Structure 1
Amino acid sequence: MSRHSSSLRSLLTAEVATQRARYLTWFGIISASCLALSQLGSYLINTRIPLGTSVEISSILYFTHIRNLGGVFGLAQGQGWIFAAFSVLLISALVLYLVLSKRVRVYEYLCFGFIAGGGLSNVLDRLVYGSVIDFIDVRGIPFWHYIFNTADTFVHIGLWPMLFIGLFWHRD
Structure 2
Amino acid sequence: MPAPRITPWLILAAVLIGLDQASKWFVLARLLPGETVYVAPFWNWVLTFNEGAAFSFLSDAGGWQRWFFTVLAFAISAWIVVTLRRHADDFRLSLSLSLILAGALGNVVDRIRFGAVVDFIQWHAAGFYWPAFNVADSAITIGAVLLALEQLRPQRDRAAKENT
For the aligned residues, what is the CA RMSD? 1.8
Gaps of 5+ in 2: 159-164
Output the TM-score relative to the length of structure 2.
0.85
Matching residue within 63, 72, 93 for 1:86: 72
Identity among equivalent pairs (%): 26
Aligned mates of 1:150, 1:42 — CA distance in 2:
9
Out of 18, 33, 46, the residue aligned to residue 64 of structure 1 is 46
Q: Could you list the per-position Cα deviations for residues 136-168 of structure 1 after superposition, in whole angstroms to 9, with x for gaps in the alignment?
A: 00011675431111100011121101101212x
CA deviation profile, 1:49-95 (whole Å, cap 9, x unmatched): 01111111111110000000111110111322211111110110111
Distance (whole Å) between structure 2 residues aligned to residue 49 and residue 148 of structure 1:
15
Which of 108, 131, 140 aligns to 1:146? It is 131
Answer yes or no: is the 8 Å Cα contact 2:122–2:129 preserved in 1: no
Change beyond 3 A, Cα 1:141–1:71:
farther
1:160 aligns with: 145
When normalised by structure 1's length, the TM-score is 0.81
C-alpha separation in 2, matches of 1:27 and 1:142: 39
Determine helix, strand or coil for the equivalent of 1:64.
Answer: strand
For the residues of structure 1 that align with 2:114 and 2:126, how far apart are their CA atoms?
30
Partner deviation per Cα, 1:93-145 (whole Å, 9 max, x = no partner) = 1111222x369622111111111011100000111122100010001167543
The amino acid that maps onto 2:84 is L
CA positional deviation for 1:33? 1.1
For the Cα contact (< 8 Å) 1:35–1:117, is it kept in 2? yes
Could you tell me which runs of 5 or more consecutive residues in structure 1 were left unpaired when the two chains were aligned.
Answer: 1-12
Q: Return the alpha-carbon distance in structure 2 between the equivalents of residues 102 and 75 of structure 1.
A: 32
- Pairs aligned (count): 152
Query: Given the superposition, is the C-alpha separation of residues 91 and 57 from structure 1 closer, same or farther in structure 2, using an over 3 Å criterion?
Result: same
